[in-house]
Amino acid sequence: MKLSVFTASTPDLTLDETISAVKEAGIDGIEWRFADVPPDALNEAPSFWRNNRCSIPIASEKTKWFEYRLAAEEANITSVGVLPNMTAGDLVTTERLLRAASFMDASFIRLGVPLYDGTEPYAKLFEQTREYLRKSEVICRNYGVKGIVEIHHNTIVSSASAARRLCDGFDPGYIGILYDPGNMIYEGYEDFTMGIDIMGPYLAHVHVKNVSWNRVDNAADGVVWRAEWAGLRKGCVPWPRLVGDLQAAGYKGYLGLEDYSGEFATKDMLREFAGYFRTLLNEQNHTFREDVI
């Protein structure tokens, strides 16, 4: 397995600063945030979802894509994926971002999946998204780039089994699943080993973050438990065990950092992630060799 970072989690770094920090940390790849920065956010402090200084505009063209691709290539860093927040069913944007990913030599884009808030029946949303995936698979095949759906709370794919059901029957060479155990702590928890087994050949990428449940005393409602971002070593996701599960399943893709905890300053966060997960990968490899012997 290799390590990557999603630039949504490095909002205070420009392109050049991101490349420098990623290389210094010894991280192998970058997942590019494709999103527009709102004009009224430009004078704000950097933030994950508004004034993110390493974001590629959705309507950008090859000149911008080449700038980011070249910066990564010159540093010997892989452009792993293109990650927008895209509306399910938007085939125009899907094709634009597949074209961008192909140009940047990235292996996947994140496809859109609908939120679930109870206002529309799940069955309707499910069938609409299946139709979107059917059409997306054809376009993905044309560009040689995989489309992946992310396991995410408050959507119709909040668990591994829900994501597998949505993707089942499509070609796993072109449609896959972004496994996000941290999001599953918010909603959609299943045994992690079972989830890896359920996803099978559709497991395409893994996001690394952590989440903890914290007690909040509320005068009106009494005791309330709330899920909140946590440091990689501090939340509910047992990453040492999970890395071993992924290796045992034969996963050879990327572990992509998406840490919103604010535990460390950005450059320190990258170094901490790389050091921690290199250690986990080495420990698991050593254990595996002992088991074989």
Residue 217: predicted pLDDT: 78
pLDDT of residue 286: 55
Q: pLDDT value at position 290?
A: 42
Are 179 and 205 contacting, i.e. CB atoms less than 8 angstroms apart? yes
Q: What is the pLDDT of residue 291?
A: 44
Q: What is the reported pLDDT for 289?
A: 41
Residue 48 and residue 262 in contact, taking contact as beta carbons nearer than 8 Å: no
Q: What is the mean pLDDT of each run of 10 residues along the chain (293 residues)?
A: 97 97 98 94 90 94 96 98 94 97 98 96 98 98 98 98 98 98 97 97 98 83 85 96 96 97 97 97 64 39
**Contact in structure between 267 and 18 (CB atoms under 8 Å):** no
Q: State whether residue 160 is helix, strand or coil.
A: helix
User: Could you give the domains of the chain?
Assistant: 2-292 (3.20.20.150)
Q: What is the CA radius of gyration of the chain?
A: 19
- Residues in CB range of 250: below 8 A, 6 or more apart: none
